[in-house]
Amino acid sequence: MPNPIRKIGSFFSRSLGTWCFLVVLLCLAGCMTMRWQYPATSQVEQVDDYHGVKVHDPYRWLEDANSPKTREWIEAQNRLTFDYLGKIPSRQPIRDRLTKLWNYERFSPPVRYGERYFFSKNDGLQNQSVLYTVQSLEDTPVVLLDPNQLSSDGTVALSGTAISDDGRLLAYGLAKSGSDWQEWHVRDVAAGKDLSDHLRWIKFSGASWRRDGHGFYYSRYDEPSETNKYQAVNYFQKLYFHRLNTPQSEDRLVYHRPDQKTWGFGGYVTEDDHYLIITATDGTDTRNRVFYLDLQDPQGRVAELLTDFDASYEFIGNDGTLFWFLTDLKAPRGRVIAIDIRQPQRDHWKELIPEHRDALKGVNVIQDQFVAIYLKDACTQVRMFDLEGRPLQELALPGLGSAGGFGGKRKDTETFYSYTSFTTPGSIYHHDFKSSRSTLWKAPRVDFQGTNFDIRQVFYKSKDGTEVPIFIVHRKGHQLDGSHPTYLYGYGGFNISMTPGFSVPIAVWLEMGGVYAMANLRGGGEYGEEWHQAGMKLKKQNVFDDFIAAAEFLIAQGYTRSEKLAIGGGSNGGLLVGAAITQRPDLFGAALPAVGVMDMLRFHKFTIGWAWTSDYGSADNPEEFKALYAYSPLHNLRPGTGYPATLITTADHDDRVVPAHSFKFAAAIQAAQAGPKPVLIRIETKAGHGAGKPTSKLIEEAADRWAFLDKELEMRVPKNFETKKNRR
């Protein structure tokens, strides 16, 4: 006979199990339908006609960054974002580790002018690096300019320098709150004091002194309206000469083209002070034109030398009338040619250094030698040639990494350069041409054990079969079991090469147990102009295919899985991330698009955005519109889609990629999100596109990014990152 007590217990057990099962189902259903309470974002009836295609733009009003309504929206979004980030237990320990690791002394390679050396140094946590000068490298350096003294929050940055040939005068540019606009001043080096010179409305320009130091050449735009200076389109750049101790209003206009609003100009005085080389660019197109002015002829006029706009021509130096250029004409990976301006016809041109299988990225003339910088599979190689192009030697570098610097003049016997890798902070080397030896000058001491990590470079196949290189960095002993949080980074545009380099945030990410991967996508310059063009305009989808293939490769090889995979990139890389999550929202666990170009139909209508049409194309062109519309992140969000956890970052003073891109994308993805993951926007104040950002802001932003990934990827931060109180 059955026990009645047991029957009652069995009934309650079955009922409780069924009830728990129902509760779990209800909770899962609730998670699937859960919506975040994002700030209300109104929509407007804005419809544009692109070649017969009607395109809605309901968040057009967010393009006015200064309107009270937009400011209220910014404040509401930031409240939501910072409230969320502030509650992540690991954020403070991550911030503390970033601060500790960032606190190391770092230098730039010195350059010599006259009897002085000049270099910058950051003691560690200084918001801006300080410019120093010294007569002997064994002497105690003297502060020449400390930007940290120019603002209380470190938001005034040194954005450019030009030193007179004798080392007596420093022309320098300052940028405020991350803006591309610069104001230039002149400082007496010996006295350490500024002269009366004050130049404004300068953007995308350096300065080049005449040898006697009585003035310099620079480029500027006309003064914009005060209310629209961060968004107004920049056209008609002009080249001027500024005479020392005179007001800017008296500067002499040297060259401009009122018939070519998109042309930009750079002026460079040759080392012999005989010629002014004028480079004319058109947006970000790698092709350019070259003119020159004979400075020894008082009645001289600008002469046109290279006007076909058929290739890139980078002036290297000259020997009298013989001009040396680095060009990709009939050599997409670069070569060096000589043009005698007395016989400038092409059949008189002479090739000095022929094209190599590696990409030639830069050349300088020091000690009567060409110092040529190559990229071999995205890593630096340095080779020397005599002035006839005969090979001399290859400079031995410490490993597979990136080297830069190599400044100097034709008769100098020395140069300085930096070397870095993913796990090696930038060290500075001194190279003596007489002995052909390099010796270490400065090596930073960082609280990071780079030897604990492995660096691999492998190749994977993209969608169309193209082999693409990718660097992968992880802790030694890493098991390929798909369990590791991974951060995949990319750029893929504008002929810019992604090369190995030390980054404090990446070092901390590695210490957190993460894998770091950087793919060398088409559109970049790692393999020369052909690689660049394979990711431009109508071929831009190749870049996104390369990035998506990199993600699939990392998963297939067992490094990670989709839920543990985060992607990131900034500017054009922000576009990359936006396109990736709209095309493959299922592939990623989290996304960090920074200062991205998200509205591909209107980017050319703000500040310098028109210049990017050389890489992207323009919605004004019917065929290019189709390609842009097909991948534009803003226009390819689909309501009802579950997007990965996304933290968009931008800044209110970004006058390169105006923040409206991120504002509109954030509003649209918040409205479209159907999954449980947060899509947030972090809007920095008193900051711009990234250049000159204070160290304090860099640390805060990195802490927010890694805390966001720590939570959304469900990482386990090592014990040394968090106290027992905060540990999960």
The two three-digit tokens of residue 387, written as one number: 């002035």
CB atoms within 10 A of CB 283: 16
- Long-range contacts from 682-685, C-beta under 8 angstroms, 24+ separation: 682/78, 682/81, 682/82, 682/85, 682/647, 682/648, 682/649, 682/650, 683/74, 683/77, 683/78, 683/649, 683/650, 683/651, 683/652, 683/659, 684/649, 684/650, 684/651, 684/652, 685/651, 685/652, 685/653
The single residue listed with the structure tokens 């400011």 is: 71
**Contacting residues for 130 by C-beta, under 8 A, at least 6 apart:** 120, 121, 122, 123, 143, 145, 146, 147, 148
Cα–Cα distance measured from residue 565 to residue 577, given in angstroms and rounded to the nearest whole number: 13
What integer pLDDT is reported at residue 693 of this predicted model?
A: 83
Q: What is the mean pLDDT of residues 584-605?
A: 97
The single residue listed with the structure tokens 């002269």 is: 195
Residue 723 confidence class, pLDDT cut points 50, 70, 90:
very low
Give the DSSP H or E segment for 624: helix 622-631
Strand order in the sheet with 414-421: 402-405, 414-421, 424-432, 437-442
295 pLDDT higher than 60: yes
698 pLDDT higher than 60: yes
For residue 194, what is the DSSP state?
E
Alpha helices, DSSP H, located in 536-599: 541-556, 572-583
Q: What is the dihedral of CA 172, 175, 178, 181, to 10 degrees?
A: -110
Task: List the domain boundaries for the chain.
Answer: 45-99+448-718, 107-265
Of 201, 611, 313, 283, nearest to 292 (Cα)?
313
What integer pLDDT is reported at residue 30 of this predicted model?
A: 39
Residue 653 confidence class, pLDDT cut points 50, 70, 90:
confident
Q: What is the mean pLDDT of residues 519-527?
A: 98
The single residue listed with the structure tokens 């504008």 is: 494
Cβ density class 438-463: b for 16+ within 10 Å, e for less: beebbebebebebeebebeeeebebe
Of 614, 619, 621, nearest to 629 (Cα)?
619
274 pLDDT higher than 70: yes
Residue 35 confidence class, pLDDT cut points 50, 70, 90:
low
What integer pLDDT is reported at residue 227 of this predicted model?
A: 67
**Cβ atoms of 258 and 268 closer than 8 Å:** no
Residue 189 confidence class, pLDDT cut points 50, 70, 90:
very high
Positions annotated as catalytic residues are 571, 689
Using alpha carbons, list the distances in angstroms from residue 224 to 201, 651, 660.
8, 21, 19
What integer pLDDT is reported at residue 726 of this predicted model?
A: 35
Of 119, 109, 123, nearest to 170 (Cα)?
119
What integer pLDDT is reported at residue 690 of this predicted model?
A: 60
Cα–Cα distance measured from residue 526 to residue 546, given in angstroms and rounded to the nearest whole number: 14
26 pLDDT higher than 50: no
What integer pLDDT is reported at residue 70 of this predicted model?
A: 95
727 pLDDT higher than 50: no
Q: What is the dihedral of CA 519, 525, 526, 527, to 10 degrees?
A: 120
Cα–Cα distance measured from residue 650 to residue 607, given in angstroms and rounded to the nearest whole number: 16
Q: What is the mean pLDDT of residues 123-142?
A: 95
Cα–Cα distance measured from residue 473 to residue 503, given in angstroms and rounded to the nearest whole number: 12
How do residues 62-82 score in pLDDT, each as one tens digit?
999 889 999 999 999 999 999
What integer pLDDT is reported at residue 218 of this predicted model?
A: 98
The class of domain 45-99+448-718 in CATH terms is alpha beta
Mean pLDDT computed over every residue of the chain: 92
- Whether the model clears a pTM of 0.85, i.e. scores above it, the answer is yes
Q: Which residues face 134 on adjacent strands? A: 117
The CATH architecture annotation of domain 107-265 reads 7 Propeller (2.130)
Residue 226 confidence class, pLDDT cut points 50, 70, 90:
confident
Q: Is residue 622 classed as helix, strand or coil in its secondary structure?
A: helix
Q: What is the mean pLDDT of residues 153-181?
A: 93
pLDDT > 90 fraction of the chain, expressed in percent and rounded:
87
For residue 227, what is the DSSP state?
G
Packing angle of the helix pair 504-511, 695-712 (nearest 10 deg): 30
7 pLDDT higher than 80: no
How do residues 427-476 score in pLDDT, each as one tens digit?
999 999 999 999 999 999 999 999 999 999 999 999 999 999 999 999 99
What integer pLDDT is reported at residue 722 of this predicted model?
A: 44
The two three-digit tokens of residue 458, written as one number: 């492998």
Cα–Cα distance measured from residue 128 to residue 646, given in angstroms and rounded to the nearest whole number: 30
338 CB-side CA count, 13 A: 15
What integer pLDDT is reported at residue 688 of this predicted model?
A: 60
Task: Point out the least confidently predicted range of 184-198, 485-499, 691-705.
Answer: 691-705
The single residue listed with the structure tokens 């990934």 is: 709
